[in-house]
Structure 1
Amino acid sequence: MEEAGADFGYRGEQLGLPEDGPNSLARPGRRLGAIAVDWGLSVLIAYSLITHGYSQATSNWALGVFFAMSVLTVGTIGFTPGKRLFGIRVVALETGTVNPLRSLLRTVLLCLAIPALVWDRDGRGLHDRLAGTVEVRA
């Protein structure tokens, strides 16, 4: 892509990622699909924990389930159920694997929502930038 005489390259090039195929930057549609699956799963789990029907308490429980699921799964195996379904994994830029502390930071920022809505030119959310992680295709 060339604009105003500047060559910006492809998304992920500055991060040392391939342009396409495995380990290339995961596209926004896949990432949004994965988070929708994870949120839906969290709501179902929270709903099953609360027997008196859907309420504001269910939303709060769903956020807690989403938080715990994200921290535990990304911090150990590198993906959530939704990410696995969409062929995405989270990696640390320096080491390749996401440790539990980095996963905790990333998930706290993701649950705040605003950092996830602020993207850089490579398509990484602020939560990924601050945690030093990136979502790539598996």
Structure 2
Amino acid sequence: MDNRDAIGSWLSGPRAAAEQAGVDFGYRGEQLGLPEEGPGSIARPGRRLGALVVDWGLSLLIAYGLITHGYDQATGNWALLVFFVMGVLTVGTVGFSPGKRLFGLRVAALATGRVSPARALLRTALLCVAIPALIWDRDGRGLHDRLAGTVEVRI
């Protein structure tokens, strides 16, 4: 390995370097028994981020229009509470929030396929803290999904 190969592997990241060395990671969701593409496959980060933006925007609109009647510091705090309640109620009952539905996603429990209200509560609480959602495993699941035993999949 010359210097260019070493620099190239450093720039492309450890996964790319390991794949060049012959390590087969498989596709996202393979270890969970999920298909590679189509319905039931792991949701891609772009769709997940889009759904999060829609849900947060909806929460802000509700807080702005129904609770604070204007935008100030309290609007963001109320929006977080609305986001939490909306997430627990929608994911815990139908398996998706409005944003997730718009982007063709749903949350499924690994064991049963259906998310219980308790799992939805834990998942949403960890999502509101934000840090667990920023730590991903090789399947693209956030720490909040791993701890709740859930996965976000395509419909």
TM over 0.5: yes
Pairs aligned (count): 138
1:13 to 30, 37, 52: 30
* TM-score, with length taken from structure 2: 0.86
Aligned residue runs from structure 1 range 1-138, under 5 A: 2-138=19-155
The C-alpha deviation readout for 1:51-73, integer Å capped at 9, x for no partner, is 45101100010000000000000
- Point out where structure 2 has 5 or more consecutive residues left out of the alignment: 1-15
Aligned residue identity for 1:10: Y
Higher relative contact order (CA 8 A, sep 6+): 1
Aligned counterparts of 2:107 and 2:135: Cα–Cα separation in 1: 18
* TM-score, with length taken from structure 1: 0.97
Specify which structure has the higher proportion of helix.
2
- Point out where structure 1 has 5 or more consecutive residues left out of the alignment: none
Q: Which runs of 4+ in 1 moved over 4 A?
A: none
Answer yes or no: is the 8 Å Cα contact 2:42–2:154 preserved in 1: yes
Aligned residue identity for 1:32: L
Aligned counterparts of 1:45 and 1:3: Cα–Cα separation in 2: 49
Give the SS at the match of 1:7: coil
Q: After alignment, is 119-128 or 51-60 more displaced?
A: 51-60
Identity across the alignment (%):
80
Name the Cα RMSD after superposition: 1.1
